Structure 1
Amino acid sequence: MATTSESKPATGQDDQSREGEIFDLLSNQRRRYAIHYCKREDGPVTLGDLAEHVAAWELEKEVEEITSAERKRVYTSLQQTHLPTLERADVIEFDDRTIELTDEAAELDVYLDIVPGDSVPWGVYYLGLSAVGAVVMAGLWLEVVPTEPIPKLGWATLVFALFAVSSIAHVMQNRRMRLGELERPP
């Protein structure tokens, strides 16, 4: 059997490599802020406007309060380091003064499940909610849970309602925590 010198790389390795590159991109707050601003503006942005907003977010000031030195420091860092890095990853198109997101930027949302420090991760929450539902359902099957004040269908409806309300809250929080959704980045 003849072999060729051309061999396709394993898809899993390509996916892992791309995933690692994305996590590396998103590990820097200034790059996340840049992506947030570009998503929020939904079109080409100027480097000057981007630098002002990123500096304001980093320093927790209003854009009008940013000094020229603070703006220049962020401007230089974006121009020399962060924007070329995002461009090499095909997340933005950068032509020295104008920045625009590419279609590849849309795939970043999957990697940005931001969990606030005072919150329980949703996976753990749903696991706990499933355990509660399983206990209620097992109690109904074993006739340990009272069915006089609340019938079996009422208990099932209660468990369903808990999942429905939780799902709605989860969707709302994810939308709020997504880059480009709010005025300030999450």
Structure 2
Amino acid sequence: MDKEIVELRDVVDYVTDQETSDSPEESNYSNRKSVYTALRQTHLPKLDDLDIIEYDKARGEMRLTPRAEQVRMYLEYVPENDIPWHVHYLGLTALSGLLVLTTHLGLYPFSIGWGTLTGILVLMFGVSSIVHTYQSRRSRLRDMDFAPLTE
């Protein structure tokens, strides 16, 4: 487990950057203060109570505990060179719309006919759904995989 110490200000910067479209230089004081307050008063103490992080409030430092690995499995994990499923389905929908439009307008070479188009669309979404279902079932937690919180 990574024992790297992270400072509160770095976490505040990261969360503020993720929640706002501003660049780090443009993140205004009120955004940073709001994130800082929420983290310091609520989120970090709760994560510390659950033994997910070790949080030193006085020093404004934290580090992950081994318990953090058990929590990670409940988050949507997308490998670096992969895309999330919602983006995949959004792309399929855009492609489908483009195919429908080009077929409707009769634009060559995409004027393939409505029957063929329907088959292609059903095949695209069907294969995607089967793969998505397979991957979801493969990563589904069973009762024996769940590590309950200990008091």
Q: TM-score, normalised by structure 2?
A: 0.49
Q: TM-score, normalised by structure 1?
A: 0.41
The structure richer in helix per residue is 1
